[in-house]
Amino acid sequence: MTYVSIECDGDWMLNNRHCYLLNRTKLSWPDAKSECTRCGAYLVEIKNEDENKWIEEYLLQDVFCRSKYECTSWIGGTDIETEGQFVWGHSKTPFTYTNWDFINPNDFQYSIKIRDCVDMFYNGQWNDRACHFLANFICEK
């Protein structure tokens, strides 16, 4: 059996055979997605509670704001194609794990459905937000 050593470049952090990077450049969701692609990665696709907790503990550990809504990080989720059906933007697979913040997703409360992208608060909970919002973002490869 051949074992492949996985290492992450520069500021990327290794977890469970994937490399992650919190980019603190504030971009819209589409621009963040493009920037991850430029780095040979994609906006993070969170598969389970362990991965979500790792991101919270290791990538978002020093991110804190007076209001959690002010400093969030884009993750790869979106319901832009079919309202209410969230999928991962890179793999196009539906969510099998979620960690929504209280009352989220809450796009259904608005007559104009504009909250089609998913960001993560520094406490690891998720929020649906308008894709043009400028936020940090998390890439995975």
90-128 confidence digits (pLDDT tens): 999 999 999 999 888 886 666 556 889 999 999 999 999
Q: Which amino acid type is present at position 5?
A: S
DSSP structure class, residue 140: E
Quick check: 77 and 29 in contact, CB under 8 A? no
pLDDT band of residue 136 (cuts 50, 70, 90) is very high
Whole-number percent of the chain with pLDDT over 70: 90
Question: What count of other Cβ atoms lies within 10 Å of the Cβ of residue 100?
Answer: 15
Quick check: 118 and 46 in contact, CB under 8 A? no
Question: What pTM does this model have?
Answer: 0.91
93 against 6, higher pLDDT: 93
Domain ranges of the chain: 20-140
Q: Residue 132: pLDDT above 80?
A: yes
Query: CATH 3.20.20.10: does it fit domain 20-140?
Result: no
